[in-house]
Structure 1
Amino acid sequence: MIHVSEAPPDSLLGHYVASGAYADCYVTEFPATVSHAQFVEAFYTSALFKLERLLLGLFLSRPSTDAEARQLAEGQRSSFAAWTVESRAENQLVLATGRTRSWLMVVAGSSELPASTQLFFGSVVVPPRSASGARRGMGLVFTALLGFHKLYSRALLRSVRARLSSQIQAAAHSRRSDA
């Protein structure tokens, strides 16, 4: 299940929330231990995100590969498709493009499910500045697309869960075959 959540206080989104930017946060608990690198790779190689990558390649000339997603996840790349790494911590990553940010974070599971991982995904949209430097409103396009964005964010996390599940099942099958 995917829930809307507040960004954890120690998240790299804190200063955006404090500055009044639009920020959202979605979380799901995955029933296995997942590293941050595994989450990032699964996110950017999930079936749904591959469609977004295809569109970025076609319309913005920003192609990307699964190998590049793996390098990003392992900290070996500072850019991926249309994004640049803005900040990175042991369990978090913020990618930036224009006024938008994407954030991924993992936290060890709850006490009820100790061998689980909380997977967080959030987005930030920084409001534009006027000529005087003051922040303006988000605008009509942002407002019109917000409902779609919320549905898409949940769908992305569902796609990541499916990707991680299939990876774990494949690894378990491989271990059984090797035994």
Structure 2
Amino acid sequence: MRQVEENGIPEGSLLQQFAERPGFHVDAFVAHVGFTPSLNDYIVAMFDSRVFRIERALLALAAFKPTFKEGVAALAAAESDRLASWKTVQRTEQELLMEVEKGRVRTWLMVEPAQGGASKLWFGSAVVPKPAQTGKAGGIGFVFRTLMGFHKLYSRVLLRAAIHGLKRVF
């Protein structure tokens, strides 16, 4: 399996706008693959992977927002701007930036073509800081800080799962 690495935020990406703001947590993970999927293929591979299906089921129970394979396909084809608790904020030919409704989490995917028919697959997140209280600076908060190790491990697992799904197509 290709190695997934934590990396800096790509210059000019949709995620970069958060990296430049104080108090935000932003991370990005990248894997080099020997093929170049479309963003649509990548969205389906990510959000319909076995790993993410578990998350979709948990979100359906917790947030009462069930999402099925058809919803993933509609998001991938840009026929819908929603998936479970996420809403599309920005989308380009190579990137998708979503936010959790009424939440502080942003999720980002990008396909970056490379030489020789290869590409870099990116997956990242941003956590918007809590509003500052009188006399205190805003930050991402105790819960997000506490779960950061799990978040980073889970991000790697999700990206690997998407690559596994894409390899079946390419």
Q: TM-score of the superposition, structure 1-length normalised?
A: 0.87
Q: Is the 8 A contact 1:31 1:116 kept in 2?
A: yes
Q: CA deviation at 1:135?
A: 5.2
Equivalent position to 2:108, from 100, 103, 106? 103
Gaps of 5+ in 1: 169-179
Match of 1:65 in 2: 68
Q: Larger Cα Rg: Structure 1 or Structure 2?
A: 1
Q: Which has the higher contact order (CA 8 A, sep 6+)?
A: 2
Q: Which residue of 2 aligns with 1:130?
A: 132
Paired residues of 1:101 and 1:124 also in contact (CA < 8 A): yes
Matched residue, 1:174: none
Verify the 8 A CA contact 1:7 1:14 in the aligned structure 2. yes
Identity of aligned residues (%): 34
Please, which of 10, 13, 16 is the counterpart of residue 12 of structure 2? 10
* 4+ aligned runs moved over 6 Å, structure 1: none
CA distance in structure 2 between the aligned counterparts of 1:23 and 1:135, rounded to whole angstroms: 18
**Residue 171 of structure 1 aligns with which residue?**
none
Shift of residue 5, structure 1, vs aligned partner: 1.0
Superposition RMSD in Å: 1.6
Q: Secondary structure at the match of 2:91?
A: strand
2:39 to 31, 36, 41: 36
* Partner Cα separation in structure 2 for residue 139 and residue 58 of structure 1: 25
Q: Taking structure 2 as the reference length, what is the TM-score of the superposition?
A: 0.92
More helix by percentage: 1
Would the aligned equivalents of 2:50 and 2:161 in 1 still touch at CA under 8 Å?
yes
